[in-house]
Structure 1
């Protein structure tokens, strides 16, 4: 008889911690994209969307900023991270991290192990920017937001592949 593995996760007394990560995106026509990263724990019955907005935006009724969930991932420490992109950065004068290559894609070399072993914050930010490029082509509300932002992000996103990850072509 062949042994089988249970598909049920191991019993735990405490669920894994969930973190909400906000990537505050800015664009400068000469410098390109940059971002700031803010992160906090999701507590109690809080909604992740509300936590992401609260991390970055000055007021709950702020409608000048796009807030969009772009991905999730598990960390080596057993946490789940929900990533949100916020555009434009509400505090563009604060130091940001340049994103010189929004085409950078982290990949796993093993098909059965989807998490890339060398995943870094810039990979997550690049994924979020490519996700935004996809939305700019498929979501009229996002396209209108980008066109009205005045920072040139819409033109820069036009130069990126605006396709879902499964539609990317091999290099």
Structure 2
């Protein structure tokens, strides 16, 4: 199993950007602790939000557990722009749920939409984001649906 950490940043003019770090999960170590270590966060750090947003199986059969960390603890390091946070990767075959064209940008976009959902439903996350008004405005422009959410008529 691998732990993938998406370090998110947002600029009101530039939009979303991220860095991606990944490591193997060691035996006897929790994925949460591994994500914090990979992000270089101290055990008692309360300035950063860490949240598991998804998991997936890779083509070679490895399981990847994705975490979103906000804000990026090293914002001066080069980031990758997330130009389409609204794009959702879907399989065209109902009996084969994994999209064949899944890219890291899809995983990050999912994590950002998950954050939009949490901003509206999770008090601790809403408090963390409250002072970041530009980010909150950007998140509220996104659909707040997460994978598996079902809405009934």
Which TM-score bucket, shorter chain as reference?
over 0.9
Q: Which residue of 1 aligns with 2:121?
A: 138
Question: 2:17·2:82 contact (CA, 8 Å) conserved in 1?
Answer: yes
Residues 110 and 146 in structure 2, CA contact (< 8 A), matched pair in contact too: no
Q: In structure 2, what is the Cα distance between the partners aligned to 1:69 and 1:35?
A: 16
Q: Conserved in 2, the CA contact under 8 Å of 1:27 and 1:151?
A: no
Pairing partner for 2:24 from 27, 31, 41? 41
User: Once the 2 structures are TM-superposed, how far is the Cα of residue 78 of structure 1 from its aligned partner?
Assistant: 1.3
Q: Deviations over 1:128-164 (max 9, x none)?
A: 000000000000110110113x372111101111123
CA gap of 1:115–1:56, structure 2 versus 1, over 3 A, is same
Q: 1:126 aligns with which of 98, 109, 119?
A: 109
Give aligned pairs, total.
151
Runs of 4 or more off by more than 4 Å in structure 1? 166-169
RMSD: 1.4
Q: How far, CA to CA, are the matches of 1:166 and 1:45 in structure 2?
A: 29
Shift of 1:59: 1.4
Contact 1:131-1:162 at 8 Å conserved across structures:
yes
TM-score (norm. length: structure 2): 0.94
Please tell me whether the aligned partners of residues 8 and 18 of structure 2 are also in contact (alpha carbons under 8 angstroms): yes
- 2:81 is equivalent to residue 98 of structure 1: yes
Where structure 1 has 5 or more consecutive residues not aligned to the other structure, the ranges are 1-17
8 Å contact from structure 2 (residues 4, 66) kept in 1: yes
Shift in CA distance, 82/166, structure 1 to aligned 2, threshold 3 Å: closer
Is the partner of 1:152 in helix, strand or coil? helix
CA contact (8 A) 2:7 2:70 kept: yes
Q: CA offsets, 1:27-63, max 9 Å, x none? A: 0000000000000000111000000000113311111
**Aligned counterparts of 1:58 and 1:45: Cα–Cα separation in 2:** 19
Which entry has the higher C-alpha Rg, 1 or 2? 1
